[in-house]
Amino acid sequence: MTILRFLAVPALILATAVPAYAEKLSLNDLSKYLNRMKTAEARFTQINDDGSISTGTLFLKRPGKARFEYNPPEKALVLVSANNVAIFDGRSNQPPEQYPLHRTPLSVILARNVDLSRANMVVGHDYDGTATIVTAQDPEHPEYGNIQLRFTDSPVELRQWIINDGNGGRTTVVLGDTQVGIPIKNKIFNIEMYLRGH
């Protein structure tokens, strides 16, 4: 069980046809889109670096909070809050692995104010004919890896979100039935509460 496997960031791939007139979206427009996305809930299917597949539900609350609930047979829960990431492995009686949020690529999009135009944050900004692809990293710590975001236009939507870790690993998660702007209680992200056994 590695941090890469459980720190994958969601990818959203919809079957909707993309208009032929779509063009590369600006970094400013994409930053505004991410900053407007305060909460989200979605089912996900995660494709791990070793080819294995996991499923679950993602809860996101910006800034700084995320929860990945994995379905059986996985017995895992990942919580992000208070600038920390905790990986709970239900198959182990060991305490959860914990990491500072700023040491993961998640920090790029969970920031209070996402600014993709910040110097050296975006290392790739391309258009493949159907979507704008942005590769972003922490400019002060590129060794932590990067996030690859794939957006379509009309309206702007995040379609794919991939984490590339600093060791060359790659994890993709596909989401469906995403609900945005719904109320989500802070307690579901509370690491300390889960350390105390809820």
| DSSP-H helix ranges across the chain | 3-6, 27-36, 106-110, 191-195
Percent of the chain surpassing pLDDT 90: 44
Please check whether residue 63 is in contact with residue 37, taking contact to mean a CB–CB distance below 8 angstroms.
no
CB 1: neighbour CB atoms within 10 A? Answer: 12
Determine the average pLDDT of the residues in 168-191.
Answer: 88
- Percentage with pLDDT > 70 across the chain: 88
Average pLDDT over residues 50-62: 94
Give tens-digit pLDDT for 65-101: 999 999 999 889 999 999 999 999 988 888 899 999 9
Cα–Cα dist 74/61, whole Å: 23
Return the pLDDT at 133.
Answer: 93
> Who wins on pLDDT, 184 or 46?
184
pLDDT at site 103: 83
DSSP E strand stretches across the chain: 10-12, 39-47, 53-61, 65-70, 76-81, 84-89, 97-100, 122-127, 132-137, 146-152, 157-164, 170-180
pTM exceeds 0.85: no
Q: Which carries the bigger pLDDT value, residue 43 or residue 15?
A: 43
Tokens of 169: 């690993």
Predicted local confidence at residue 30, as pLDDT = 93
pLDDT at 96: 92
Domains located in the chain, CATH noted = 3-195 (2.50.20.10)
- For residues 103 and 141, the answer to whether their CB atoms sit within 8 Å is yes
Angstrom distance (rounded) from CA 82 to CA 190: 8
Q: How far apart are the first and last CA of the chain?
A: 23
Q: Who's near 127: CB < 8 A, 6+ residues apart?
A: 23, 24, 133
Instruction: Determine the Cα–Cα distance for residues 86 and 76; give it in Å rounded to an integer.
Output: 10
For residue 16, the model assigns a pLDDT of 35
pLDDT at 13: 35
* Cα–Cα distance measured from residue 125 to residue 118, given in angstroms and rounded to the nearest whole number: 13
| pLDDT range class, residue 198, cuts 50, 70, 90 | low
Q: Can you give the pLDDT at residue 92? A: 84
